Amino acid sequence: MKALEIRDLKKTFRSNFLLKKYHVLKGINLSVEKGEIYGFLGPNGAGKTTTIKCVLGLLFADHGEILIDGQPAASMASRRRIGYLPENPFFYDYLSARELLFFSASLFNLAADEVRDRVAALIHQVGLSGHQDLKLRKFSKGMIQRLGLAQALIHNPDFLILDEPFSGLDPIGRKDLRTLILSLREQGKTIFFSSHILQDMEMMVDRVGIILNGSMRREGKLSELISRSTQYYEIICSHIAEKELAKIQTNFACRDGQYSLTLPSDSDINQVVESIIHNNGRIVAVNPVKMTLEDIFFNEMQPTRPATAGDSR
């Protein structure tokens, strides 16, 4: 059974005055396996947060089905399984971190004495020790983000939905959060997170879904999406005269006394390497340069080429 399954999810918004319809989600299909980290990738305005809000019942879908562990997402049982961190979270700023966590626990019917140890452990886990009694109005954005994660974990959920969890965090905070998310996967939790920061996603996710303009463009294992796509091969060499190198391969660049040659396929690699050695050059590295998530993302972002009269023929 899948942790999350979304089938043909559609959602439209209306403008306030003209009642013009905006199709925000145009039939989203995606599935999240249990125990994986799923990265939901898309530029701002693609429909990531709208999809998440439909899963959480904050928005009502016009069409489609959302299942959590096989149960309708709108059910209370499903919501009990989810821990949610909103995008740019804002919590009651008159409460302290500890009070907020106790308040969150009470919404899951957890008794105060039951959660006392858990609150203390979570405050430590997200790096807020020493700040637990500080009012939230004095918290920085990064501290709020950490607290947001703690409140999402208060009931020890199986499934975490994190909406842009890295926004507003400094490099140390991002590294801490990455470590925490990976450790949560180790504990068997399923994590679904949206982001437009490709670097973070590439470092963590098992599977990725790319959403653009309210439609899913690609979905699959990150390793498969990337390994399928070696773009070119790069040979780095040194101790060879530029004149000699130009005879072997015209497409090269020089940096810090080393030359980088680019080959479109692997068929000529042996011949080029032999020629360099023959001319007293040294091979420093031979690298297949694969597509990064960023390349895949930007390829998907390219608008499709409009059909011409010639094409139609």
Two structure tokens written together for 66? 């959302």
Local structure of residue 96 (DSSP, 8 states): B
Closer residue to other proteins, CB minimum distance, 111 or 307: 111
State the residues that interact with other proteins by CB under 8 A.
Answer: 13, 53, 56-60, 76-77, 79-80, 82, 84, 86, 88-92, 94-95, 103-104, 106-109, 151
Cβ 135 to other proteins, closest distance in Å?
A: 9
Q: Residue 143 carries which DSSP code?
A: H
Q: What span, in angstroms and rounded, lies between the C-alpha atoms of 224 and 207? A: 9
Alpha-carbon distance values, 114 to 109, 110, 117, 120, 312 (Å): 10, 7, 7, 12, 69
Cβ–Cβ < 8 Å for 39, 201: yes
* Least spacing, CB of residue 33 vs other proteins, in Å: 22
The nearer residue to other proteins, 213 or 292, going by C-beta atoms, is 213
Q: How far is the CB of 204 from other proteins (least distance, A)?
A: 23
**Nearer to other proteins by C-beta: 14 or 124?**
14
For other proteins, which is the closer residue by CB, 160 or 177?
160
CB of 90 to other proteins, least distance (A): 5
State the nearest-atom distance from the C-beta of 71 to other proteins, in Å: 12
Q: How far apart are CA 204 and CA 222, in angstroms?
A: 10
User: Among residues 16 and 187, whose Cβ is nearest to other proteins?
Assistant: 16
Q: Where are the alpha helices (DSSP H) in 58-187?
A: 76-81, 97-106, 112-125, 141-152, 171-186
Q: Give the residue from 227, 217, 238 showing the smallest Cα distance to 285.
A: 238
For residue 139 the two structure tokens come to 């918290």
Closest separation in Å from C-beta 115 to other proteins:
12
104 vs 194, which CB is nearer to other proteins? 104
- Tell whether the torsion through CA atoms of 48, 51, 55 and 58 is positive or negative: positive
